[in-house]
Amino acid sequence: MFENTNPENRSQTLVRVENMTKYFPITRGIIFQKEVGQIKAVDGVSFEIYKGETFSLVGESGCGKTTVGRTLLQLYRPTSGRVYFGEEELTSMHGETLRRMRRKMQMIFQDPYSSLDPRMTIGHIVSEPLEQHSTSSGKERLEMVRELLVKVGLHPYFADRYPHECSGGQRQRVGIARALALHPELIVCDEPISALDVSVQAQVVNLLRALQSEMGLTYLFIAHDLSMVRHISTRVGVMYLGRIVELAHKAEVYQNPLHPYTQALLSAVPVPDPRVEAVRKRIILKGEIPSPASPPSGCTFHTRCPIAVEDCARQSPAWREIKKGHWAACDRI
């Protein structure tokens, strides 16, 4: 099932995801492995990303956010569903055709310590995409690396350093420079600040916003820090157990959350006013997140939902537009 969350912007759609699923097999046996189950990491996700926007996915750890990003880029091949980049269907592409499309889509990884090869210099790391896609000669490549380093706030002499000689914030800037090397249209930011010190997080987010404005970039921003998501996002999708349960403009999500899971998430965000914090109501969810290997029947959130009724366990909620541009999957609202 797929619904356009903003029909007025259909002509500006850069990425379209239609009912995408990604299941990982559970196997048993050492030599002759037998599939005995599946991890339903992403279970029927549909959304659009418009040109020039920052579309954010938020949710608890393990809800499938990162898998959505990697499957969208075809780093994981989807179990079912379709992904379109412009008018091109990525899920049907293979080999050299898909390789050429990768120039338009890049990723900034979560951990700046493990995503950079410790045996390569910063210059080599940033120039590697240029070498792989043969977009420039040696001298041009060196000059482009220097320009990219300056663009992300690093001195050109960092090109001769190794990753272990850089701080966490500097490494993440290197990762950003590498993602920018091929002038992509879409960048998937997979929790790009979660491994950084708080003092550095705002610097990296402000850098991403400045680069977006300067280069016309489109972001899929994956995070669980709701306060930072509010700062950088255009629209927000809230995920729970492999599904998107609410999607709207960030102002709608934060000021008028409709789904009970979204309401619970936002109630956990601290308010920097001690008087408000002392009296505001917290929503404490009962129980633990169910296993994606055996998700609950009906609405997957019903086992923890404070407003669930018996019917919630029997049928999946309809994905519907509650009001213009504000979508939610809950039959109780």
User: What are the tokens at 129?
Assistant: 């995409």
Lookup result for tokens 């379209």:
16
Enclosing domain of residue 37: 7-329
pLDDT in tens, the chain (333 residues): 334 444 444 458 999 999 999 999 998 887 888 888 899 999 999 999 999 999 999 998 889 999 999 999 999 999 999 999 998 999 999 988 998 898 999 999 988 888 899 999 999 999 999 888 776 677 888 899 999 999 999 999 999 999 999 998 999 999 999 999 999 999 999 998 887 888 888 899 999 999 999 999 999 999 988 888 888 999 999 999 999 999 999 999 999 999 999 999 998 887 777 787 777 788 888 888 899 999 999 999 999 999 989 999 999 999 999 999 999 999 988
pLDDT for residue 134 = 74
**Alpha-carbon gap, residue 320 to 326, rounded angstroms:** 9
CATH number at residue 313: 3.40.50.300
In a domain? residue 130 = yes
- Residues 6+ away with beta carbon under 8 Å from 325: 5, 6, 248, 249, 252
pTM: 0.89
Residue 1 domain-assigned (yes or no): no
**What's the total number of domains in the chain?**
1
Q: Is residue 220 part of a domain?
A: yes
Residue whose token pair is 């420039």: 136
14: in domain = yes
Interstrand relation of 54-58 and 218-223 (parallel, antiparallel or unpaired) = parallel
The answer as to whether 75 is a domain residue is yes
User: 207 lies in a domain?
Assistant: yes
Within-domain flag for 57 = yes
Residue 2 inside a domain? The answer is: no
